[in-house]
Amino acid sequence: MDFKITPIKPAEVRELLKLIRELAKFEKLEHEMKATPASLRRALFGPRAVAGALLARSGGRPVGYALYFSTFSSFTGRQGVWLDDLYVCPEFRGHGIGRALIEAVARVAAKRKCGRFEWIALDWNQRALDFYKSLGAKTLDEWVLIRMAGPGLRKLAARKRRPKR
């Protein structure tokens, strides 16, 4: 199967959003899906762009994407790349598109002299875990992901420090 991977252009944001929605559905996380064309455009192309994305096309049709942003590690003292999403439409899997996307993001990381290329995967997505292992990626089992969001985050931010004497 023939396919092409290119950095996303502003005119392709709506196509990207459609793929993001498909991924959210697959991950059973549709309730988290709040992104809009405007918020994506700002993140990817705004004056303070924070993310990059690559789009895979086959026969002109968008069939997959990778979205990433920069991280920093105080231990390595270097920037890293975090792969927020990697997605290939189900009917286009098994043709090396996912591998080509992840290799393209790895090239971004190498070009930026990044020390690490990281992401998270759902523990029930065995196909993805096997694929990442086949790339030589390491699963860091002793680390636990922790998150604050919504009202909990606002509450923490609003806490007043009690002066101690």
Residue 24 beta carbon to a copy of itself: minimum distance, rounded to whole angstroms: 5
Amino acid identity, position 104: A
Tell me the β-bridge partners of 136.
Answer: none
x/- track of binding to a copy of itself for residues 26-65 (CB under 8 A): ---x--xxxxx--xx--x------xx--------------
Q: Assess 161 for contact with a copy of itself (CB under 8 A).
A: yes
CA distance 83 to 88: 14
CA distance 24 to 132: 20
CA distance 71 to 15: 26
| Closest CB to a copy of itself among residues 11, 48 | 48
Q: What is the DSSP letter of 161?
A: P
Residue 11 beta carbon to a copy of itself: minimum distance, rounded to whole angstroms: 18
Which member of 22, 78, 92, 93 binds a copy of itself (CB under 8 A)? 78
Query: Catalytic residue at 132?
Result: yes
